[in-house]
Amino acid sequence: MNIEEIKIISGEDKNGNREAVEELIIKKGDIIILAGPTGSGKSLLLSDLEQLANGDSPSGRKVLANGEEIDPLGMQITASLSQNMHFMMDLDVDSFIKLHAKSRKIEDENIVEKILEMANSLAGEPLAASSNLTSLSGGQSRALMIADTALISNAPIVLVDEIENAGINKTKGIEILASKGKMVLIASHDPSLIVTAKKRVIMKNGSMSKLIVSDEVERKHLKYFTKIDKILENFREDLRHGSKLDEKTLEMLEKEIGE
């Protein structure tokens, strides 16, 4: 089934009131952020999509693909990247990639190299083909699965729970998935990610309370958010490698963002 569009038909909030956003339409290449405080219903909305809800979840939502209901037992259309992702299989990275590629009938002799190159462009600590899956960090596992989902998985929808906590290049990871035609939904508290997406759903009391389309003014904010993120990323790497903050780094901060 070639899925061009997913539609989420609204249900009810925690008090039984109808959701303000009557329907959420997602198309190929769309990136949609779910924003809201902890407990507002972001994870439940991701779960509704993963389970292909048909009015049978606590929210009462329905998920349609190309305008039709889907049998949740007949098709797997989502790939889920959770906050705490670790592998349980006792395989090396090379074997895992080759097995998955074979199961998807992908005959590309360079698929391992392609996935490793993509994953290592996202991860702080590089992966090797010989690395055992069980020894990978959370960030390495997430980077590997983003590359695997982009290049091997045929799931059209990717659900991501707080990618900012994974220790990877979050913006690049999202851009990679969207560029492969995936529909990407991300639950996030990160202002840079929230503004990066063209659309965001504000969750409140278990419901989709507002749909916001980002504009040019927000894009101007993004320039500064990105700059701040880059400064923090550089400090994070310096501290990880044993550097000590000194007067020079303090002067740099004062120059960049003021006292």
Structure confidence at residue 240 as a pLDDT band (50, 70, 90): confident
Question: In this structure, is the dihedral angle defined by the CA atoms of residues 103, 107, 113 and 115, taken in order, positive or negative?
Answer: negative
Amino acid of residue 206: G
Integer-rounded Cα radius of gyration of the chain? 20
* 76 phi-psi bin (left φ>0, alpha ψ -120 to 50, beta other): beta
Residues 131, 112: contact at Cβ < 8 Å? no
> How far is it, in rounded angstroms, from Cα 227 to Cα 52?
38
By the 10 Å C-beta count (0-12 exposed, 13-18 middle, 19+ buried), 216 is classed as exposed
Residues 14, 205: contact at Cβ < 8 Å? yes
User: What pLDDT score was predicted for residue 39?
Assistant: 92
User: What pLDDT score was predicted for residue 72?
Assistant: 66
- pLDDT at residue 107 is higher than 70: yes
Average pLDDT of the residues in 80-105: 82
> How far is it, in rounded angstroms, from Cα 138 to Cα 62?
32
Structure confidence at residue 17 as a pLDDT band (50, 70, 90): very high
Q: What is the pTM of this model?
A: 0.81
- pLDDT at residue 215 is higher than 60: yes
pLDDT tens figures, 39-78: 999 999 999 999 899 999 999 999 999 998 877 666 678 8
Q: Please tell me what DSSP assigns to residue 185.
A: E
- pLDDT at residue 228 is higher than 90: no
The more confidently predicted of residues 222 and 62 is 62
60 beta partners = none
Beta strands in the chain (DSSP E): 5-9, 23-27, 31-35, 62-65, 68-69, 78-81, 157-161, 183-187, 199-204, 207-213
Question: Is beta strand 68-69 parallel, antiparallel or unpaired with respect to 78-81?
Answer: unpaired
210 beta partners = 202
- pLDDT at residue 166 is higher than 60: no
- pLDDT at residue 86 is higher than 70: no
Reference 41, options 211, 208, 206, 209; nearest CA is: 206
186 beta partners = 33, 160
What share of the chain has pLDDT > 90, as a percent? Answer: 43
- pLDDT at residue 259 is higher than 60: no
User: What pLDDT score was predicted for residue 223?
Assistant: 82
Helix (H) or strand (E) holding 147: helix 138-151
How many C-alpha atoms does 1 have within 13 Å on its Cβ side?
19
> How far is it, in rounded angstroms, from Cα 179 to Cα 169?
16
Average pLDDT of the residues in 172-190: 88
The more confidently predicted of residues 255 and 84 is 255
